[in-house]
């Protein structure tokens, strides 16, 4: 029996569609895991998990729902995108698919603690731009005979595994957040008639997981200390 999702407003449906479109840009056969509620609890919030292969991170987008549902299923991102009716603010959950390995290893729902050392949002965007430019310059400077996949991967691993600021978060996580539209500036009024202020974002930790949380979504990675090193493919 299909499940119909009714979003709290049409903007939620549009944001979800944009997120799914970005995932499909990196993987035409992308799958997403949908979770809402659990243990008999129905709630008005949907969590959508995806894994763009170019970044090797988990991307998480939440959406507010008009009606409570209980849901835990892995589906085709493309089929879900096709079912989104942005004008009506609805979507139909497609048939379940065999989930990829990552879908069975998700970050914990609770127990997150905020960490210090995270640069400002402007500084994060500047760092991402700098390392993208560095990767492009270093690869373009390679002699043709040395421009092999192994050498590109080596340079990418060196650059994208660097920590962001004074944190353990690899730069590739911030690059993923930027590419998925999570680092867009958000302006909110401090008070009536007051000047606009950028909404804060944060780095959180729970067990072996690190999560960069922004107003538009989150990017989660397993910490290097837990994995004994991270495999990185440059995007």
pTM of the model: 0.85
Specify the pairing of strand 58-69 against strand 43-50.
antiparallel
Cα dihedral 41, 74, 107, 27 in deg (nearest 10): -150
- For residue 82, the model assigns a pLDDT of 97
- For residue 235, the model assigns a pLDDT of 32
Q: What are phi and psi of 85, to 5 degrees?
A: -105, 95
What does 50-117 look like in DSSP terms, one character per residue?
Answer: E--TTTT-EEEEEEEEEEEE-EEEEEEHHHHHHH-BTTTTEEEE--B-PPPGGGGSPPPSS--EE-S-
> First and final CA of the chain: distance in angstroms?
39
- For residue 194, the model assigns a pLDDT of 54
List the CATH code of the domain at 3-104: 3.10.150
Helix axes 121-140, 149-160, angle to 10 degrees: 160
Walking along the chain (235 residues) 10 residues at a time, the average pLDDT comes out as: 89 96 95 83 85 91 92 96 96 94 92 92 93 94 92 92 92 95 70 52 94 95 55 33
Domain ranges in the chain?
3-104, 113-225
Matching residue, tokens 């780095």? 203
- How far is residue 169 CA from its own chain's centroid? 14
- For residue 1, the model assigns a pLDDT of 61
- For residue 233, the model assigns a pLDDT of 32
- For residue 198, the model assigns a pLDDT of 47
- For residue 186, the model assigns a pLDDT of 65
- How far is residue 136 CA from its own chain's centroid? 23
């Amino acid at each position: 029996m299909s499940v119909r999702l009714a979003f709290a407003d049409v903007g939620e449906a549009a944001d979800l569609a944009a997120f799914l479109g970005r995932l499909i840009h990196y993987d035409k056969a992308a799958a997403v895991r949908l979770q809402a509620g659990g243990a008999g609890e129905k709630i008005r919030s949907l969590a959508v998990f995806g894994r763009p292969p170019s970044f090797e991170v988990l991307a998480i987008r939440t959406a507010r729902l008009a009606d409570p549902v209980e849901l835990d299923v892995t589906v085709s991102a493309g089929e879900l995108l096709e079912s989104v009716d942005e004008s009506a603010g609805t979507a139909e959950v497609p048939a379940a698919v065999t989930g990829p390995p990552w879908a069975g290893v998700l970050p914990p729902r609770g127990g997150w603690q905020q960490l210090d050392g995270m640069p400002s949002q402007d500084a994060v965007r500047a760092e991402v731009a700098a390392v993208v430019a560095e990767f492009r310059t270093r690869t373009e400077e390679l002699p043709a005979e040395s421009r092999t996949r192994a050498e590109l991967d080596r340079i990418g691993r060196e650059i994208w595994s660097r920590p962001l600021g004074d944190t353990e978060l690899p730069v590739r996580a911030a690059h993923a957040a930027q590419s998925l539209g999570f680092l867009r500036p958000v302006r909110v009024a401090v008070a009536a008639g007051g000047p606009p202020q950028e909404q804060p974002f944060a780095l959180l930790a729970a067990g072996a997981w690190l999560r960069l949380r922004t107003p538009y979504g989150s990017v989660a990675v397993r910490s290097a200390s837990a994995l004994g090193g991270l495999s990185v493919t440059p995007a």
